Amino acid sequence: MKNITLSTLFTLAMLGWGLCCKAEAFNTQPRAGLWQSDVKLIIDGRDILAEVKAMQEQLMANLPASAREAMGKSGMMPNMNNDTLSCITPQQAADAKDIDHWLGQASQEGCDVQETDRSKNTVGIKVSCDGSGGYTGEYTGTLSVESEKSWSMTLQGKGTMGDSGPEVAQDISVNGTWISDDCGDVNPEE
């Protein structure tokens, strides 16, 4: 199933962060380093990540121990945990204040992002995706920046995944938390 990627979610979050930071009364940027994003994805009322994770666990439980070990080492089973680690470079953190940079990033994913409203630490956004990134439809939502170490985003929308998939309703929530200055073995996305 093709869906809006975690990279796109982070881009949207940083876009919102940049929008917030342009407000005169709010001037912060994310810290560079290791971030954890906790994601909840509800499609047509179903918690898809939880369902896929349960299916994976059932599959793995039915395999012999040697096969489970081989699958784990091979990377054939994607991580279906709701949390994802990302490494943010100092330059990426600094770029979060440049709204044009983030608009360009979102456009690369086939989505147009517009600010709908703003308060001191929250920005409303509307996202329209043209299908070139695998999703055709619209989202509306908010991004709230609690501090340089914490943000949250919600998106709600309807659209079609893939070229001929059915229209689905999606609710996405992401909570980002800064973990450490050191990214360890997590490499930054480019």
- Phi, psi (5° rounding) for residue 152? -145, 150
3-class state of residue 6 by DSSP: helix
Question: 20, 12 in Cβ contact below 8 A?
Answer: no
For residue 14, what are its two tokens? 């940083």
pLDDT at 162: 77
Helix (H), strand (E) at residue 48 = helix 48-61
CA distance 139 to 126: 6
Closest CA to 22 of 106, 100, 83, 77: 100
pLDDT at 135: 82
pLDDT at 11: 53
DSSP per residue over 81-110, as a string? SSEEEEEE-HHHHHHTT-HHHHHHHHHHTT
pTM of the entire predicted model: 0.71
pLDDT at 1: 36
Question: 6, 37 in Cβ contact below 8 A?
Answer: yes
Tens-level pLDDT at each residue, the chain (190 residues): 334 444 455 555 554 554 444 433 345 678 999 999 888 889 999 988 888 888 888 888 888 888 877 776 766 665 556 678 889 899 888 776 665 565 566 666 778 888 888 777 777 888 888 887 788 899 999 888 788 898 888 999 999 887 778 899 999 898 999 999 999 999 988 7
pLDDT at 56: 81
pLDDT at 138: 92
pLDDT at 156: 95
